[in-house]
Amino acid sequence: MQREVKLRKAGGSISATLPKDMAERLQLEAGDSVIAIETERGILLTPYDRDLEEALAVGSKVMKKYRNALRELAK
């Protein structure tokens, strides 16, 4: 779903306000965190998931530690 979002000055930053129905559908509330990803087509906002972030950090450490073994397995 596409929606127009207004940008407003907030201190030294710029903030975006999500429409109420969109925030409810995505189960977002004031104070929640989202991740902003810059893409070729613009900005993607996605809900922040602490568990996923922690799992990705663990996976990254494992991949660094076993980099050579993973390369061999990929052949």
In this structure, is the dihedral angle defined by the CA atoms of residues 65, 67, 68 and 70, taken in order, positive or negative? positive
* Structure confidence by residue, pLDDT tens digits, 11-53: 999 998 899 999 999 889 999 988 888 999 999 888 887 888 8
Query: Is the confidence at residue 66, as pLDDT, over 90?
Result: yes
Query: Is the confidence at residue 1, as pLDDT, over 80?
Result: no
Instruction: State the pLDDT at residue 53.
Output: 81
Every domain of the chain and the residues it spans: 7-74
Instruction: State the pLDDT at residue 54.
Output: 86
